[in-house]
Amino acid sequence: MRNPLSKKIIDIQPSGIRKFFDVANEMKDAISLGVGEPDFDTPWRIREEGIFSLEKGKTFYTSNAGLKELRQEISKYMERKIHVSYDPMKETLVTVGGSEAIDVGLRCMLDPGDEVLIPQPSYVSYLPCTVMADGVPVVVPLQYENEFKLTVEDLEKYTTPKTKILIMPFPNNPTGAIMTKEDLEPVAEFIKEHDLYVMSDEIYSELTYKSEHVSIASLPGMRERTLVINGFSKGFAMTGWRLGFCCGPEVLIEQMTKLHQFAIMCAPTTSQYAAVEGLRNCDGEVEMMRRSYNQRRRFLMHEFARMGLECFEPFGAFYVFPSIQEFGMTSEEFATRLLDEEKVAVVPGTAFGECGEGFLRISYAYSLEDLKEALGRVGSFIQRLRNERN
């Protein structure tokens, strides 16, 4: 019998730490600091709007690119938040989570052999999606010394004549790093100079704690070179609704809509109606969640400082990325022992690329009470490790 599988899919390695994830998820009595989604319920007014749409019988497909009123709200939201205007009808596409936009975007932009610069540590899907789109992933390791920001020096090392796309994963999962306007400006100049395109994954844009999020698309000459990806999962606490969107130049959105139409038809109708309410009337709820994350972020930084755990101060998303290099073990060994001995689940930095070795991703999408309990255990664990080493 012939092999049902393509060489391409076989060649994509399953994430090395899949096993760790499976073990951790089976441990029902463990406390977790390992989750990449908000602990808040979706704001009630959004849920209620979803329920209301079902009551009214809004259970049909929407237009492929998404409900007109949602795209209009998205366009206004982008104008308000990143100060870039997108035509709701021609430059906006509603997708099944930001993740679909990553996949479809890469498939519409890449020809075989085109190279994609993927800064790491970063979210897990850029690399496999690039491979499935016949692109060549080129990992750009980010440096702890630069607080995991992307610099032009990093880009210079990895850009070739075949490079077509740069992924910009900021605010970053897993490091929590953000890029300010000053950080972005030289990168934007580099992009224009080398005639590249940017896929800017801004799914955590609502969650910054120092200065307002700045999109690279808002810099001069960058709008027509950038596909901005965003969604409702993080800022609006809507992970399970599977709703995202992207905005970009018409030529690209038009083709992405074509592929999206063939592959998906349209994003979930109920989620789209609910999201309209989110964009219209939920600034207060979003602000409340941001305030709460920020308090927990400060609390974690304070506790790490007390434990003497090295960590740069992150200003975005809901993660901190402390270094565990002093303990002389791999991230996975550390995480496995922490899980076994103290029943605390964290994610090894290597889940987000090899250069995450020596780091842990700790999520603060947890109540302060949970964080206190978990950090107490982390504290006694690292004390024990230090005693072992002395």
Partner 1 sequence: MDEKKQELRIEILKYIEKHSRVDLGELAVLLGVEETDVANEMAEMEKEKVICGYHTLIDWDKAGVEMVTALIEVRVTPQRDRGFDRIAERLYNYPEVYAVYLISGSYDLLVTLEGKTLKEVSRFVSEKLSPIEGVLSTATHFILKKYKDHGTIMVPKKESERMLVTP
Residues at the contact surface with partner 1, assessed by CB under 8 A: 15, 20-21, 24-25, 27, 30, 32, 34-37, 39, 123-124, 173, 291, 295-296, 298-299, 302, 345, 347, 351-352, 368
Of the two residues 66 and 174, which places its CB atom closer to partner 1 in the complex?
Answer: 174
What's the closest the beta carbon of residue 288 comes to partner 1, in angstroms?
A: 9
Of the two residues 68 and 298, which places its CB atom closer to partner 1 in the complex?
Answer: 298
What's the closest the beta carbon of residue 60 comes to partner 1, in angstroms?
A: 29
Alpha carbon 211 to its chain's center: 19
Quick one: CA torsion of 186, 125, 351, 323, rounded to 10 degrees? 20
Of the two residues 107 and 296, which places its CB atom closer to partner 1 in the complex?
Answer: 296
Identity of the residue numbered 244: G
What's the closest the beta carbon of residue 301 comes to partner 1, in angstroms?
A: 9
What's the closest the beta carbon of residue 34 comes to partner 1, in angstroms?
A: 4
Identity of the residue numbered 77: Y
Of the two residues 37 and 254, which places its CB atom closer to partner 1 in the complex?
Answer: 37
Query: Cα dist. 162→139, 264, 307 in Å?
Result: 14, 30, 46
Structure tokens at 131: 């491979």
Element (H or E) spanning 90, and its range? none
Of the two residues 20 and 204, which places its CB atom closer to partner 1 in the complex?
Answer: 20
What's the closest the beta carbon of residue 292 comes to partner 1, in angstroms?
A: 9
What's the closest the beta carbon of residue 32 comes to partner 1, in angstroms?
A: 4
Element (H or E) spanning 233, and its range? none
Can you tell me the distance from the alpha carbon of 26 to that of 121, in angstroms, rounded to the nearest whole number? 26
Residue 137 CB-half CA count within 13 A: 19
- Which candidate, 320, 307, 313, places its Cα nearest to that of 385? 307
Can you tell me the distance from the alpha carbon of 101 to that of 122, in angstroms, rounded to the nearest whole number? 16
Under a CB-based contact definition with an 8 Å cutoff, are residues 105 and 251 in contact?
Answer: no
Of the two residues 266 and 374, which places its CB atom closer to partner 1 in the complex?
Answer: 374
